[in-house]
Amino acid sequence: MSKKINNLIRHRSTRLTLYNHKGGVGKTTLLVNIASALASLGYRVLLVDADPQCNLTSYLVDTDVVDEWLDNSDSENGSTIWSAIKPFMESYGDLNFVKPFERQEGVYLLPGDIRLSEFEQELNQIWVDCLQRKVRGFKGASAISEIVNVIAKKENIDFVFYDVGPNIGPLNRVILLDCDFFIIPAACDLFSVRALKTLGKSLYDWILEWQVIAQLAPDNSLLLPGRPKYLGYILQRFRMYGGAIASQFAGYAGKVEKSTYSDITEVLRRIDKDLAKGTLSQTKLGQVKDFASLVPFSQTQGLSFFDVEGGDVSMKKDAKKEFQLIANKIISLTSNT
């Protein structure tokens, strides 16, 4: 492997994303809850809204404030991810520092922006520039990584979580290539089973293509690490109720589990065994229940299921337990892997 790989100087924080190009599997909701669980255990978390839909930002922050951020994101002291990238987009200039929003103790947010889709369009050319060994290509491909790096260092962050949109596009490609680990959230249905194949294949292609690009890169280029390791999957059972559907759920849960092994673990191991070390049982990070009655509280207050005021007390207890279990697995697996 090229010596050039990893020459982007990174802060010690661990970077992760919950990735599944299938939409609506609960990525954003999981992130909010896992971040709060990690914060409750004393960790400092940066959430990066890297989805142009900005759902995470709307989830955590009042609409008026979000609108103001979006209206002003082009200005000198803008607050969103677009504000940070803008100088690169305008003239390949140096990135702006953006102070993250402190949502609660230990949970910070780099707000999203609809205009991130403009950067995503540019990323197609940036990828071509990388293949042609042009320095600006590497600068563009690592732009989000660098922004995150500066914030993680300033705020002394332990875990960075990227919230990404449901697609296999160039923005998600650079984000995955920046991550140390990725987690797959999956619903228990036919579409989730089928999506895993495409997911594994895309990751396989991205990692291999980046290896080629990194080998060819001119010296001193900023390089993404390009080695996202598969940490595990989380089953989302929130759309399942009672009898017949519950047994169908169990059937699909088994299929999803098997497919994570054949379509993700085995595929990544063809590149490098270290990219997917866990056994099937080790990669099961959790199974999240239907917390539908807590959703309105959570979304209006911008807090995790278990931090909200009001709502069913025993359900909140359950939620805290489930998400702290997942958080503890993430802590131990990322420190050992």
In angstroms, the CA 88 to CA 116 distance is 12
Question: Site map for ligand ATP, 193-232, x if CB under 6 A?
Answer: ----------------------------------------
Q: Least distance to ligand ATP from the beta carbon of 20, Å?
A: 7
Length of the chain: 337
By the rule CB under 6 A, 296 interacts with ligand ATP: no
**284: phi > 0 → left, psi -120 to 50 → alpha, else beta; which?**
beta
Q: Least distance to Mg ion from the beta carbon of 31, Å?
A: 8
By the rule CB under 6 A, 291 interacts with ligand ATP: yes
Q: Least distance to Mg ion from the beta carbon of 163, Å?
A: 6
Options 4-12, 18-26, 193-201, 249-257: segment touching ligand ATP (CB under 6 A): 18-26
Q: Nearest CA to 182 among 13, 26, 330?
A: 330
Partner in contact with 206, chosen from Mg ion, ligand ATP, none, beta carbon below 5 to 8 Å by kind: none
Three-state SS sequence of 258-304: HHHHHHHHHHHHCCCHHHHCCCCCCCEEEEECCCHHHHHHHHHHCCC
Options 3-11, 19-27, 214-222, 257-265: segment touching ligand ATP (CB under 6 A): 19-27
Alpha helices, H only, the chain: 27-40, 55-60, 63-71, 81-91, 116-131, 135-141, 143-154, 170-178, 190-216, 243-259, 266-269, 295-301, 313-336
By the rule CB under 6 A, 27 interacts with ligand ATP: yes
Q: Least distance to ligand ATP from the beta carbon of 12, Å?
A: 28
Q: DSSP string spanning 5-22? A: TT-S---S-EEEEE--SS
Q: Least distance to Mg ion from the beta carbon of 173, Å?
A: 17
Q: Looking at this protein, which amino acid is placed at residue 317?
A: K
Q: Least distance to Mg ion from the beta carbon of 208, Å?
A: 27
Size of the site for ligand ATP (CB under 6 A): 17
In angstroms, the CA 315 to CA 160 distance is 27
Partner in contact with 43, chosen from ligand ATP, Mg ion, none, beta carbon below 5 to 8 Å by kind: none
Footprint of Mg ion on 5-34 (CB under 5 A)? 27-28
Burial pattern 2-13, b for ≥16 Cβ within 10 A else e, equals: eebbebbebbeb
229 beta partners: 181
Q: Is 132 exposed, middle or buried (0-12, 13-18, 19+ CB in 10 A)?
A: exposed
Q: Which of 41, 128, 190, 292 binds ligand ATP (CB under 6 A)?
A: 292
Sequence-separated (6 or more) residues with CB below 8 Å from residue 121:
none
In angstroms, the CA 193 to CA 276 distance is 19
By the rule CB under 6 A, 238 interacts with ligand ATP: yes
Beta-strand relationship, 107-110 and 101-104: antiparallel
Q: Which of 16, 26, 175, 308 binds ligand ATP (CB under 6 A)?
A: 26
Options 54-62, 146-154, 176-184, 275-283: segment touching Mg ion (CB under 5 A): 54-62
Options 149-157, 176-184, 250-258, 289-297: segment touching ligand ATP (CB under 6 A): 289-297
Measured between alpha carbons, how far apart are the two ends of the chain, in Å? 19
Q: Least distance to Mg ion from the beta carbon of 76, Å?
A: 30
By the rule CB under 5 A, 55 interacts with Mg ion: yes
Q: Least distance to Mg ion from the beta carbon of 162, Å?
A: 11
By the rule CB under 6 A, 25 interacts with ligand ATP: yes
Contact set with ligand ATP (CB under 6 A) = 23-29, 51, 55, 165-166, 238, 288, 290-292, 295
Task: By CB under 5 A, name the binding residues for Mg ion.
Answer: 27-28, 55
